[in-house]
Amino acid sequence: METETNWQKRTLGRTGIETGALGFGCWAIGGEFTTPDGSPLGWGRVDDEESVAAIRRALDLGVRFFDTADAYGAGHSERVLGRALAGRRDEAVIATKWGYRYDERTRVMHEADSSPAYARRALVASLRRLGTDHIDLYQLHLSDAPLDEAAELRGVCEEFVAEGLIRAYAWSTDDPERAALFAEGEHCAAVQHACNVLEDAPEMLRTGEERRLLSIIRSPLAMGLLTGARDPGRRAAAGDIRSTPPAWLGWFEEGGVPAERWAKGVEAVRDILTADGRTLAQGALGWLWARSPLTVPIPGFRTVAQAEENAGALALGPLRPGQLEEIAHVLG
């Protein structure tokens, strides 16, 4: 395993759990799953053998943090991650989420469930699929859950910590007020939120820094826009959520074609991000590390090659302050 430099080290809140500056998001490796009406929620078909190989390669390259959710692939992502980490559990920091009901057989995700009883059932099921006796970071997946319900679930998470089932917890939300509510709990260690060079999240980053929470960054590559793979004329495959984007997914138009506004943004920052020998994706990750020392971006992956490219960003480090200023100027 490669040696971390000091800038790469991260600690999960007050837990003492150490991890690195880069994590891998496991949504895509869950494969296809849908809403009850058949709309895709996954990223299309996957090769489980390649997924397992990519996770193990990431471990070899020094990546320790893996983020999944019980709903991804209706349980399949957790199963693949658990299989890949078999025999290497002590090398990894596992984060997963709960909050949605789903059918593993049909791979359909159903309604939200914010009840304490369901939180416990979901946790037990996740532990079984992951093949572990504890989860390092357990995250509420319901981004807009009411504050009173969330406060109760925060208490439930403290019970899980006391029982040794989890080591810390977080909320996956883009709302600073909700993040702050969870942060009142002793073992709240992070907040997961969206952020990337095209759509900054200054309030969420500030909340994390004020509360000493790690910012687990989802969509750090804007769901592929910042990899260079989503060119303006390329349509997404059937079964890919980008092919029929829901209302919240504004980066793409019908068919998975990048929306013109965001495609122009990528071109505006391309030369800056790819300076110093970086790929576009590596530059986008470097931007996040330069934005805050508490960020842990979790780019998705489906292949060994993607794992190697993303992990390669660690050797290149954060962008320079002047590059951040140049990007801010270009994007206005």
pLDDT in tens, 33-77: 999 999 999 999 999 999 999 999 999 999 999 999 999 999 999
Report the SS3 class of residue 69: coil
Of the pLDDT bands very low, low, confident and very high (cuts 50, 70, 90), residue 14 is: confident
Task: Note whether residue 1 is domain-resident.
Answer: no
Question: Quick check: 1 pLDDT over 70?
Answer: no
Question: CA torsion 321→292→261→256, rounded to 10°?
Answer: 130
Sign of CA dihedral 202, 94, 167, 21: negative
Task: Note whether residue 198 is domain-resident.
Answer: yes
Task: Note whether residue 26 is domain-resident.
Answer: yes
Of the pLDDT bands very low, low, confident and very high (cuts 50, 70, 90), residue 5 is: confident
**152: CATH:** 3.20.20.100
Of the pLDDT bands very low, low, confident and very high (cuts 50, 70, 90), residue 13 is: confident
Question: CA torsion 258→262→263→269, rounded to 10°?
Answer: -150
Sign of CA dihedral 241, 246, 248, 251: positive
> Based on the structure, what is the number of domains in the chain?
1
Task: Measure CA 114 to chain center.
Answer: 21
Burial 48-61 (b: 16+ CB within 10 A, else e): eebbbebbbbbbeb
**Among 65, 62, 4, CA closest to 214:** 65
Share of the chain above pLDDT 90, in %: 92
Task: Note whether residue 223 is domain-resident.
Answer: yes
pLDDT in tens, 154-188: 999 999 999 999 999 999 999 999 999 999 999 99
CB within 8 Å of 176: residues ≥ 6 apart: 203, 204, 206, 207
Task: Note whether residue 29 is domain-resident.
Answer: yes
Task: Note whether residue 216 is domain-resident.
Answer: yes
Task: Note whether residue 3 is domain-resident.
Answer: no
Task: Note whether residue 252 is domain-resident.
Answer: yes
pLDDT in tens, 72-109: 999 999 999 999 999 999 999 999 999 999 999 999 99
Which residues constitute the domain of residue 204? 9-331
